[in-house]
Amino acid sequence: MPPGTENVLYGIRAVNDHSDSNNSHRCGFVAIVGLPNTGKSTLMNRYLREKVSIVSPKPQTTRTNVSCILSTPGHQVIFVDTPGILKPKYRMQETMTTCVANAVSGADVILVLFDASTYRDSIHPELVNFSEKIDVGKVVVALNKIDLVKKELLLVIIEKMAKLFPDADIVPISALDGSGTDELLSVLLEKLPVGPSLYSEDIISSEPERFFVSEIIREAVFHTMEQEIPYASAVIIDSFKEKTAKVVIHATILVEKKSQKPIIIGNGGSTIKKIGIIARQGIEAFLGKDVYLELFVKVSDNWRNNLAVLREIGLIKR
């Protein structure tokens, strides 16, 4: 890899058939926001046609902003996938809330993604609180998972959202099967400013490769472990070296309690081995190269409230 290229993703070109109708090139930032586990990462992965943001059925999978770039001759959309909107209980969640605020403040369009299948008579108070703090003129609302909602209830949700975000375009979609996502993209493009691209068309993210590698490992932890372990874990990339035949990666999985370490290691190392296999396969698919991955487990008491650790794992920018 040439010097400096670790700062971007190469070799993957984002391709989409959309172009804006008046042939004026559009470019801008779209912050994807919503409550935890609404499908924000799934939607962004669909638009990029690549897995660039990790996904799991557990809430709070996304912990920091992930910028991904969709480029065509007619437009360039810089999507910013954000952590779920929540009321912070510790410092890590405070940094997650700050990430959302930063994405919103720098966005040309705020895409509020709402899981319609979770609606129960009222809108979650954290989303209501969020609506009172933003420029509603920038908002587009996407009602996700419409395949799981009856039409009558969907009409009720649309009415509720129209009151919460006045004058916002409201688009029913399914990020999983793609229903309505073309229409949603067209609405987003109409709201982006006319202007030149900010990134080369062969770049789909400005995040470093180390970031994505750590996320793939963390995703493997989420899919392997149950209960509180995924939420109490973090990943640090200790070394990332490209050899002639393969990439050699050493990484540490942090846990909060001594009792969690033997759980994540497993009997005879069985669990950490399973995590390693899943993660290695994901990293090889991402990098397009053979990977040697060695994982370690370390206890870092109460790391979610430790500013130094939050900086080390990249949740607080230096």
pLDDT category, 20, cuts 50, 70, 90?
very low
Q: What is the mean pLDDT of residues 32-41?
A: 92
- Residue-wise pLDDT for 155-206, tens only, equals 999 999 999 999 899 999 999 999 999 999 999 999 999 999 999 988 888 8
pLDDT in the model for residue 41: 86
pTM as predicted: 0.84
**Do 57 and 74 meet the contact criterion of CB atoms below 8 Å apart?**
no
- Residue-wise pLDDT for 298-310, tens only, equals 999 999 999 999 9
**Do 61 and 140 meet the contact criterion of CB atoms below 8 Å apart?**
no
Q: Does residue 59 have a pLDDT over 50? A: yes
- Residue-wise pLDDT for 83-118, tens only, equals 999 999 989 999 999 999 999 999 999 999 999 999
Domain architecture of the chain: domains with CATH: 8-191 (3.40.50.300), 209-312 (3.30.300.20)
Return d(Cα 173, Cα 113) in angstroms, integer: 10
Q: Does residue 3 have a pLDDT over 50? A: no
- Residue-wise pLDDT for 265-299, tens only, equals 999 999 999 999 999 999 999 899 999 999 999 99
Q: Does residue 4 have a pLDDT over 60? A: no
Length of the chain: 318
C-alpha distances (whole Å) from 100 to each of 130, 210, 249, 311 are 10, 22, 30, 17
Q: Checking phi first, is residue 16 left (phi over 0); if not, alpha (psi -120 to 50) or beta?
A: beta
- Residue-wise pLDDT for 136-162, tens only, equals 889 999 999 999 999 999 999 999 999
Two structure tokens written together for 250: 């050493």
C-alpha distances (whole Å) from 275 to each of 30, 95, 239, 289 are 33, 27, 18, 19
